Amino acid sequence: MKKTVSLLLLLFLFTTITACTGQSDKDQASKEKQTIDLTISAAASLKDALTDLQHTYEKKHPDVNLHFNFGASGTLQQQISQGAPVDLFFSAAQDKFEALVKDGSIEKKDGTDLAGNDLVLIVPKGSDSGIKSFSDLTNNSVKKVSIGTPEAVPAGQYALESFKNMKVWREVKPKLVYAKDVRQVLSYVETGNVDAGVVYRTDALVSKKVKIAASADPESHSPIVYPLGVIKDSKHKAEAQKFYTFLKSDSSVKTLEKYGFKKIN
For range 72-81, the mean pLDDT: 96
CA–CA distance, 216 with 72 (Å, rounded to integer): 21
pTM for this one?
Answer: 0.82
**Radius of gyration of the chain from its Cα atoms, rounded to whole angstroms:** 26
pLDDT of residue 23: 52
Q: Please give the backbone phi and psi of residue 92, each rounded to the nearest 5 degrees, phi first.
A: -100, 10
CA–CA distance, 11 with 17 (Å, rounded to integer): 10
The DSSP annotation for 125-156 comes to TT--S---SGGGGGSTT---EEEE-TTT-HHH
For range 199-226, the mean pLDDT: 97
pLDDT of residue 34: 83
pLDDT digits (tens, 9 = 90+) for 91-132: 999 999 999 999 999 999 999 999 999 999 999 998 988 999
pLDDT digits (tens, 9 = 90+) for 27-71: 444 444 588 999 999 999 999 999 999 999 999 999 999 999 999
pLDDT of residue 264: 86
Rounded percentage of the chain residues whose pLDDT exceeds 90: 85
Contacts of 182 (CB under 8 A, 6+ apart): 43, 44, 45, 148, 153, 155, 199, 200, 203
Q: Please give the backbone phi and psi of residue 114, each rounded to the nearest 5 degrees, phi first.
A: -100, -35
pLDDT digits (tens, 9 = 90+) for 150-171: 999 999 999 999 999 999 999 9
The DSSP annotation for the chain comes to -HHHHHHHHHHHHHHHHHHHHHHHHHHHHHHHHPPEEEEEEEEGGGHHHHHHHHHHHHHH-TTEEEEEEEE-HHHHHHHHHTT---SEEE-S-HHHHHHHHHTTSEEEEEEEEEEE--EEEEEETT--S---SGGGGGSTT---EEEE-TTT-HHHHHHHHHHHHTT-HHHHGGGEEEESSHHHHHHHHHTTSSSEEEEEHHHHHT-SSEEEEEE--GGGS---EEEEEEETT-TTHHHHHHHHHHHHSHHHHHHHHHTT-EE--
C-alpha to C-alpha distances, 205 to 29, 117, 198, nearest whole angstrom: 46, 12, 13
pLDDT at 174 over 90: yes
pLDDT of residue 261: 97
